Structure 1
Amino acid sequence: MEGEEDIIGWFEQVSSEAALAQSRTLRKILQQNYGVEYLKKWVGDVNIHEIPDDFTLHSIFTSSIPLSSHAHFEPFLQRIADGDSSPLLTQQPITTLSLSSGTTEGRQKYVPFTPHSAQTTLLIFRLAAAYRSRDGGKILEFIYSSKQTKTKGGITTGTATTHYYASEEFKIKQLKTKSFTCSPQEVITGCDYKQSTYCHLLLGLLYSEEVEFVTSTFAYTIVQAFNQLEESWEEMIHDLSHATLSSRIDIPEIRKAVLKVMSPKPELGWKIRRVCEELMKEGWLGLIPKLWPNCKYVYSIMTGSMQPYLKKLRHYGGGLPLVSGDYGSTESWIGVNVDPYLPPENVTFAVIPTFSYFEFIPLFKQHATTSSADTAIHDFLEGQPIALSEVKIGQQYELVLTTFTGLYRCRLGDVVEVAGFHNKTPKLNFICRRKLVLTVNIDKNTEKDVQLAVERGSQLMSQLSGAELVDFTSYAELSNQPGHYVIFWELKGDVNDKVLGMCCSEMDAAFVDYGYVVSRKANSIGPLELRIVERGSFNKILEHYIGNGAALSQFKTPRCTTNHFLLNILNLSTLKSFFSTAYA
């Protein structure tokens, strides 16, 4: 309890002095990295250590160093990957590079990872746990590492979560905190998500009376895990009862670590069998509290592209609170959920002003007059970047980060809205990824717009057929004129063609963007197309990215995409398609 009070007290103080905390953070970043090649390119020989006041330092920083994107840092990061150990972005040598998942743009990107990255991860986890204030037992934690590899220059690469789970900070947390995961390190770092998931579930059942909450990085991962439980529960019960381990687990380190903690539990196996047989009859409704009776909540990132999984998660949760995780990116953690028991749809994130230096570009919606799809990234008019202390409630912004790890005034691409303040630090709603916009003509529909339209269509399908939407994505088909939107659905259950046609029209009518409505009425955008893909299609996409080094805990299905590989998988898997009659 004392630890919880200490860390909440710390955040209350820094959030009450957010402007001062930001000034100190900027000064600390620039002083730590004074003289690196990237900064010298813009500020020359200006001695940052000799600038006494924060106003002057901020003025030099914003007037000399331009806004940037990840592309500006790629040449430096490639040099680091190739073994250049000179101070390019940071004075401290960068020995580890994180890899983004690549699901957004179709290719993975390098992002610097330093001890500061692991320390802030541990700190935000402690802070979030203190606000939840319910931890104490074991955690059924679906967490995964991917392989760490070396570049030709000897730099360790892997996902950010992989680096964190391999860090000393994580290992110390596992040993010293009162809450810890059911699974040993070998299961987390096993690099085969199917085998790791089976063992996470098996050990979670072994400790079923002790588990106090269920968690993973993303809601998708929890849904994926319980899908596996539905298919494999009988095999797990056999392993529990006899202290054996399925032959599907063939990684020696995992087998040894799991069998070490197993002992025959025939009574527990019989008890869980009865529960699972009842759950099968009820469509696995309330799976979590029935199998883990002392579980208090489910904790995961449930906002943004994870929102479509909330329905399934609530089905499994059977009334348990769904607590949304915190707001971060591969580049930096950004905000903490200080109101954890609000519904995920209402969650905001209080910016932590000591983690990075934040700037906010004001965005104003516009209606383009060009027919080029290349205008998708210019779907907003921009104001001049402002400081954290200058943001206004209700205004939308694009986030800009300057980090301790060597990124300077880097546009993150996230659009956020200021929903309020926690003391003097803003509370943010995530709106969308700026580049992920559906556009054909003068229309601009974000990921969130697509999610709302799909929700309308899937609700109609559920009412008329009882089938379930497993996953979806969309893209703008421009190869024929007029261009049109395509939405891919993977379904569980049978739906007749008439109902699917109605769902297609329902989604088309749900887009309320002025440019889209006008263009549809004028037939400068064609009817929306719904394509039904075969079961397992989205899992093929997951398998591809994991095969290229992503971790399951990092994967997110983009709701709008231009990724040719992803689209090729879905087009080859399409079973049937329907066109809207909404504007006929």
Structure 2
Amino acid sequence: MSCWSGDDVIGWFEAAAEAAAARQTETLRRILERNRAAEYLRKWLGDADVQHLEASALESLFTSSVPLASHADLEPYIRRIADGETTPLLTQEPITTLSLSSGTTEGRPKYVPFTRHSSETTLQIFKLAAAYRSRVYPIREKGRVLEFIYSSKRYKTKGGITVGTATTHVYASEEFKMKQQQTKSYTCSPQEVISSGDYKQSTYCHLLLGIHHSDRVEYVTSTFAYSIVQAFRSFQEVWREICNDIREGTLSSRVTIPDVRRAVLEVLRPNPGLASRVEAKCQDLERRDWVGLIPELWPNAKYVYSIMTGSMQPYLSKLSHYAKNLALISAEYGSTESWIGVNLEPCTPPDKVTFAVIPTFSYFEFIPLHRQSHGGPDDFVEDDPVPLSQVKIGQEYEIVLTTFTGLYRYRLGDVVEVAGFYRNTPKLSFICRRKLILTVNIDKNTEKDLQSVVARGSQILRSTGAELVDFTSHADVGKQPGHYIIYWEIEGEVEEGLLGECCREMDAAFVDQGYVVSRKSNSIGPLELCIVEKGTFKKIMENFIANGAALSQFKTPRCTSNPVLLRILNVCTIKRFHSTAYAS
């Protein structure tokens, strides 16, 4: 597929989507044949002959013999791999690389097997998504892409297994290097900048080289929307330095890594005219609070492309601020464990985006979920899992994965709704992570519930011109009654009375009946709003990176019990407010 044209890759996907059910059976058969000697599979399937079974018999044997699994069920096998055991445990071929999931902010890293198949499917979905985007937003041959992408340092387990983030593995892969050479548009930054290991120096160089290539930039992208917002917040602080480097053809002393300096200076040449134009635009943008920063500085950019669903939704307001009239295109749906679906309709706003499942990447099952009308948002009744071919429009499901990398009937924890079909493969809307993040006793609130509450409370800020920069939460059960704490970092001045109103509004906005009843009976105490000083969430991000993660994979934890993060939050708290929403 590496040399396919855009039409070729679309033709491949449409054929797979048309025959989605058959492709799923083929995928399951290939996974089982490839890994049938693995200890985990032999435990459940024994010596079953999966090669010659008919499709329905194969799927029936697999789903009746192999149980649904969580990461905790597979972790003992993954730990044995990390410790250097070479016998086939999850896969027949040895696993030499493990990925760190993006949830590592909460403490002990979660390892996920990573193989060449992981890199190959990543490049496949990049190529497929680019082909659909180019139908709507054609890009110039040999244009540039301003990519805020970052590798982190990799390390070895005691058993000699390489560990790093999935994005780091991809950027280090031969497939990615080939993509950089073959693609129609390629990144502004050389490999040395991507893999510097210092996100501050990399960000500065990404911005500098983005300005250097400003007229050739076709679009702006990063893995997560957060990274783009973070980069342009940084630009507001360093643009004068960047203009000086453009003018003189030099590189700021803030960039100290020799390989990075050498690679960037090979590209730069003195350009006083460009420096003066950018300087004038930045002076004007500064007066306008940086509205439209992206189209002003990259006049030929056609869109901004990134993961914008789930925990990235709170950053869309600021991203729209920077992008102004540029299209915001939500990137593909996947996880550290597997890619799942592609965005076929790039014109769709991020809050309405759907993802067509790619039926050859993994074997997918879907657990039907039914919400109980009397219960909280996560009070689901489950039915037995169904295959991809049996899902129904309008039904919510939890996704179950069986992958080439050794995960079998793995509960992903994502709740999706089937919004329709593309040919015969379902189109999914991401709803939320199923995991509860806020609970004291009978109350049950998910990340989506918290986002809705914070959105309602932060509406009050808009009348003042202030802005919510970021937020997280904590269920404090150390004192009785337990209560929720929500931490806000805000930009701008807000009167204390107004912040107290924000606190009360959020407390009243929780609709979970367990929470409402508990607040009324005082078995959950008043909600607490803590305002933290400027830069607090940057410290949280830096703590995450210091523990080996990459900026491109960072997600602010929407709820935390991590003692290190709580220490940062509490030390940086400058004001506290308690709700009076349920005061008698």
Establish whether TM, by shorter chain, passes 0.5.
Answer: yes
Amino acid at match of 2:40: Y
Amino acid at match of 1:522: S
Q: Which residue of 2 aligns with 1:339?
A: 345
Partner SS for 2:559: coil
CA contact (8 A) 1:366 1:380 kept: yes
Partner SS for 2:151: coil
Partner SS for 1:474: strand
CA deviation map 1:356-377 (0-9, x unaligned): 01111112224799xxxxxx99
CA deviation map 1:414-456 (0-9, x unaligned): 1112122212111112122222432223322211111111111
Moved more, 521-530 or 24-33: 521-530
- Give 1:105 deviation, angstroms: 3.7
Q: Which runs of structure 2 are paired with 1:140-289 in the superposition (5 Å)? A: 140-289=146-295
Q: Is 2:77 the partner of 1:71?
A: no
Moved more, 441-450 or 452-461: 441-450
Q: Is 2:532 the partner of 1:533?
A: yes
Distance in structure 1 (CA, Å) of the matches to 2:420 and 2:518: 36
Moved more, 237-246 or 13-22: 13-22
CA contact (8 A) 1:97 1:158 kept: yes
- Aligned with 1:312 (options 318, 328, 345): 318
Q: Which residue of 1 aligns with 2:43?
A: 41
CA contact (8 A) 1:377 1:435 kept: no
Q: Which residue of 2 aligns with 1:510?
A: 509
CA deviation map 1:473-522 (0-9, x unaligned): 11222222332221110111111110000111111222222332233233
Amino acid at match of 1:201: L
Distance in structure 1 (CA, Å) of the matches to 2:537 and 2:274: 35
Distance in structure 2 (CA, Å) of the matches to 1:74 and 1:559: 25
CA deviation map 1:169-214 (0-9, x unaligned): 1101111111100000000010100000000000000000000100
Q: Which residue of 1 aligns with 2:406?
A: 406
Distance in structure 2 (CA, Å) of the matches to 1:187 and 1:199: 7
Q: Which residue of 2 aligns with 1:27?
A: 29
Q: Which residue of 2 aligns with 1:423?
A: 423
CA deviation map 1:242-269 (0-9, x unaligned): 1110111000000000000111111111
Distance in structure 2 (CA, Å) of the matches to 1:435 and 1:103: 15
- Give 1:544 deviation, angstroms: 1.1
Q: Which residue of 1 aligns with 2:139?
A: 135
CA contact (8 A) 2:378 2:436 kept: no
Distance in structure 1 (CA, Å) of the matches to 2:555 and 2:466: 23
Distance in structure 1 (CA, Å) of the matches to 2:548 and 2:105: 15
CA deviation map 1:373-420 (0-9, x unaligned): xxx997422211111111122222111110000111111111112122
- Give 1:224 deviation, angstroms: 0.3
In the superposition, relative to structure 1, how do residues 15 and 299 fare at CA in structure 2: closer, same or farther (>3 Å)?
same
CA contact (8 A) 2:421 2:427 kept: yes
- Give 1:232 deviation, angstroms: 0.2
- Give 1:35 deviation, angstroms: 1.4
Distance in structure 2 (CA, Å) of the matches to 1:73 and 1:291: 48
Partner SS for 2:223: strand
Q: Which residue of 2 aligns with 1:388?
A: 388
Q: Which residue of 1 aligns with 2:58?
A: 57
Q: Which runs of structure 2 are paired with 1:540-551 in the superposition (5 Å)? A: 540-551=539-550
Q: Which residue of 2 aligns with 1:96?
A: 97
CA contact (8 A) 1:474 1:486 kept: yes
Partner SS for 2:549: coil
CA deviation map 1:146-180 (0-9, x unaligned): 01212222221111000100101110111111110
Q: What TM-score, normalized to structure 1?
A: 0.96
Q: CA RMSD in A?
A: 1.7
Distance in structure 2 (CA, Å) of the matches to 1:443 and 1:419: 29
Q: Which residue of 2 aligns with 1:372?
A: none
Amino acid at match of 1:572: V
Q: Which residue of 1 aligns with 2:552?
A: 553
CA contact (8 A) 1:103 1:558 kept: no
Amino acid at match of 1:526: G
Which 4+ stretches in 1 moved above 6 angstroms? none
Q: Is 2:447 the partner of 1:447?
A: yes
CA contact (8 A) 1:367 1:515 kept: no
Q: What TM-score, normalized to structure 2?
A: 0.96
CA contact (8 A) 1:298 1:322 kept: yes
Distance in structure 2 (CA, Å) of the matches to 1:82 and 1:279: 54
Question: How many residues are paired up?
Answer: 576
Amino acid at match of 1:27: R
Partner SS for 1:411: strand
Q: Is 2:293 the partner of 1:293?
A: no
CA contact (8 A) 1:211 1:294 kept: yes
Amino acid at match of 2:154: Q
- Give 1:57 deviation, angstroms: 1.1
Distance in structure 1 (CA, Å) of the matches to 2:392 and 2:412: 20
Ranges in structure 2 where 5+ consecutive residues have no aligned partner? none
Amino acid at match of 2:228: I
Distance in structure 1 (CA, Å) of the matches to 2:348 and 2:429: 13
Q: Which residue of 2 aligns with 1:569?
A: 568
Amino acid at match of 1:10: W
Distance in structure 1 (CA, Å) of the matches to 2:563 and 2:362: 34
Amino acid at match of 2:471: F
- Give 1:524 deviation, angstroms: 2.8
Distance in structure 2 (CA, Å) of the matches to 1:129 and 1:135: 10
Distance in structure 2 (CA, Å) of the matches to 1:308 and 1:351: 25
Amino acid at match of 2:174: E
Moved more, 428-437 or 265-274: 428-437
Identity of aligned residues (%): 66
Partner SS for 1:438: coil
Q: Which residue of 2 aligns with 1:478?
A: 477
CA deviation map 1:281-332 (0-9, x unaligned): 0011100000000010000001100000011000000110000011111100
CA contact (8 A) 1:103 1:555 kept: no
Distance in structure 1 (CA, Å) of the matches to 2:306 and 2:185: 16
Amino acid at match of 1:19: A
Ranges in structure 1 where 5+ consecutive residues have no aligned partner? 370-375
Amino acid at match of 1:581: T
Distance in structure 2 (CA, Å) of the matches to 1:380 and 1:63: 23
